[in-house]
């Protein structure tokens, strides 16, 4: 007898049984559709709503921090202009007036956080035994994110509009943010979350400083908020390694995985870090042993404005795909206090505040201005170092230029064009656009923004 016959018989029986069972199963898949809006009113959904507001803010900050850094020469282009590269119009110092992407995601971040608070207020009032809105911690969180989203809008866009309304100055976003931060402080305090309240105070200090630059708020109020934030306080927006859209873009476009799209070469920060070692603006030479790939000393493509490929000096402030980006810090607060001191004419007090960070904390040479003008030079440099690659530089440059604040901007792009060791200034950020325009989608669909400018400078 063939030894395989019993085996084959077993296989045939098993196959027949499998087919019978298969026929008895129901493999229909029913798509449940989108989550019903009413479900988001339930208490169990509120945490997810808050996290969604946070994620939308993180997404909005991606290109704002990256392309804004290129526009203000915190970095230089080193390669591709496509995926994770720096577009040619950004390299030329211009924003695209026909683009809507950055406007849309920033407005989405603002609206989602603002609407979340309204949803919480409505749903808590309708649920018997629900917490009071005035001490509901999740309400404080979404108010906080609404404040930061509005600050992002105010610091980086030429003009603003809200929910189909008319065109307003970018300062309207700061005023809106101030109110949301004020709400967050009150609710977080009532909820007993002191760290959350401190983050809201830090945010409010920053928008009050912006408003004070335009005479729309008091420097004394900004200082009062800043004084409540200790030196070691940091509040950041998180990123994730779970999917590419949640990566820290500045790192991913620079981490040689596979992109080498920007460089510190040719910026003000290149020589400054070389001479001081200030860790706030750290970078590495692309062919050093500790760099991501010692075999790739240049960027990943030629750069027209520099006539070819350029040295790849990758930033190391964000060294992971999920590196967070600071929204506020205690050291920023010291600089707000220092700026207020300069406005009041006390450059010695301003220097002492700046040196808490430089000399005492970092062991760097202290600033020692002997005139108010030197004090402003130092303050502008310290903000450039402290807030490097955090999406804050464009707002600073615009408010200082708008209000004729004295002092250098530390904004040059320079390079050795003929290889003789003589560095030449080739560009100044003062020649560039100083804010994103209102998105084309808004200008085409909102009849109230027909008079919006296409760019600001």
> Does residue 456 register a pLDDT over 80?
no
CB 310, CB 297: distance < 8 Å: no
Comparing CA positions, the residue from 317, 380, 388, 326 lying closest to residue 354 is: 380
Count other Cβ atoms within 10 Å, centred on residue 2. Answer: 7
Give the pLDDT confidence score for residue 291 in this predicted structure. Answer: 55
pLDDT tens-digit readout, 411-445? 888 877 776 777 888 889 988 999 999 999 999 99
Top mean pLDDT of 12-16, 270-274, 295-299, 426-430 is at 270-274
Find tokens 């440059």 and name the residue.
397
pLDDT tens-digit readout, 232-270? 999 999 999 999 989 999 999 998 889 999 999 999 999
Question: Which stretch of 29-38, 45-54, 328-337 has the lowest confidence by average pLDDT?
Answer: 29-38
Can you give the residue ranges of every domain in the chain? 42-239+328-449
Give the pLDDT confidence score for residue 200 in this predicted structure. Answer: 98
Tokens of 84: 């994770």
> Does residue 125 register a pLDDT over 80?
yes
Distance CA 433, CA 93 (A): 6
Find tokens 């335009």 and name the residue.
214
pLDDT tens-digit readout, 262-273? 999 999 999 999
Give the pLDDT confidence score for residue 426 in this predicted structure. Answer: 85
Give the pLDDT confidence score for residue 31 in this predicted structure. Answer: 59
- For the chain, helix, strand, coil in percent to 5 are 55, 10, 40
> Is residue 415 within a helix (H) or strand (E), and if so which, with residue range?
strand 412-415
Distance CA 425, CA 64 (A): 25
Question: What would the mean pLDDT of 374-403 be, rounded to a whole number?
Answer: 97
Comparing CA positions, the residue from 218, 194, 193 lying closest to residue 204 is: 218
Distance CA 248, CA 390 (A): 11
Q: Higher model confidence: residue 23 or residue 278?
A: 278
Tokens of 453: 């400018």
Residue 404 zone, left/alpha/beta (φ > 0; ψ -120 to 50; rest): left
**pTM for this prediction:** 0.90
Give the pLDDT confidence score for residue 285 in this predicted structure. Answer: 80
Give the pLDDT confidence score for residue 425 in this predicted structure. Answer: 86
Tokens of 140: 């404080």
Fold (CATH) for 42-239+328-449: 1.25.40
> Does residue 13 register a pLDDT over 50?
no
């Amino acid at each position: 007898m063939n030894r395989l016959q019993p085996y084959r018989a077993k296989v045939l029986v098993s196959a027949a049984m499998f087919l019978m069972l298969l026929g008895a199963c129901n493999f229909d898949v029913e798509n449940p559709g989108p989550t019903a809006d009413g479900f988001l009113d339930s208490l169990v959904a509120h945490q997810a709503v808050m996290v969604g507001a946070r994620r939308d803010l993180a997404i909005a900050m991606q290109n704002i921090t990256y392309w804004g850094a290129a526009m203000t020469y915190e970095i230089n282009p080193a390669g591709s202009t496509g995926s994770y590269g720096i577009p040619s119009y950004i390299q030329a110092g211009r924003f695209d007036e026909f683009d809507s992407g950055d406007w849309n995601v920033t407005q989405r971040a603002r609206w989602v956080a603002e609407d979340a608070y309204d949803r919480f207020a409505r749903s808590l009032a309708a649920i018997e035994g629900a917490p009071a809105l005035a001490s509901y911690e999740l309400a404080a969180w979404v108010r906080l994110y609404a404040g930061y989203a509005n600050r992002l809008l105010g610091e980086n866009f030429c003009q603003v509009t809200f929910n189909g309304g008319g065109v307003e100055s970018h300062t309207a976003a700061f005023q809106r943010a101030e109110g949301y931060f004020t709400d967050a402080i009150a609710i977080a305090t009532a909820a007993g979350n002191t760290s959350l309240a401190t983050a809201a105070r830090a945010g409010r200090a920053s928008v009050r400083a912006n408003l004070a630059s335009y005479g729309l708020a008091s420097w004394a109020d900004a200082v009062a908020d800043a004084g409540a934030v200790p030196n070691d306080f940091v509040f950041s927006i998180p990123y994730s390694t779970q999917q590419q859209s949640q990566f820290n873009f500045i790192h991913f476009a620079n981490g040689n995985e596979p992109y080498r799209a920007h460089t510190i070469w040719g910026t003000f920060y290149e020589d400054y870090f070389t001479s001081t070692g200030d860790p706030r603006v750290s970078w590495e030479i692309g062919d050093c042993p500790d760099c991501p790939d010692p075999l790739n000393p240049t960027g990943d493509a030629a750069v027209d404005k520099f006539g070819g490929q350029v040295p790849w000096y990758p930033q190391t402030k964000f060294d992971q795909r999920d590196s967070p980006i600071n929204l506020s810090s205690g050291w920023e607060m010291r600089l707000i206090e220092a700026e207020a001191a300069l406005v009041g004419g006390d450059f010695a007090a301003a220097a002492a505040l700046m040196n808490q960070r430089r000399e005492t904390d970092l062991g760097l040479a202290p600033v020692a201005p002997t005139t108010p003008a030197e004090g402003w030079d130092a303050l502008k440099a310290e903000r450039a170092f402290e807030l490097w690659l955090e999406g804050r530089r464009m707002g600073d440059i615009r408010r200082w230029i708008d209000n004729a604040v004295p002092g250098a901007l530390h904004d040059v792009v320079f390079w050795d064009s003929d290889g003789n060791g003589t560095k030449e200034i080739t560009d100044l950020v003062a020649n560039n656009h100083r804010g994103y325009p209102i998105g084309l989608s808004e200008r085409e669909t909102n009849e109230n923004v027909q008079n919006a400018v296409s760019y600001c400078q």
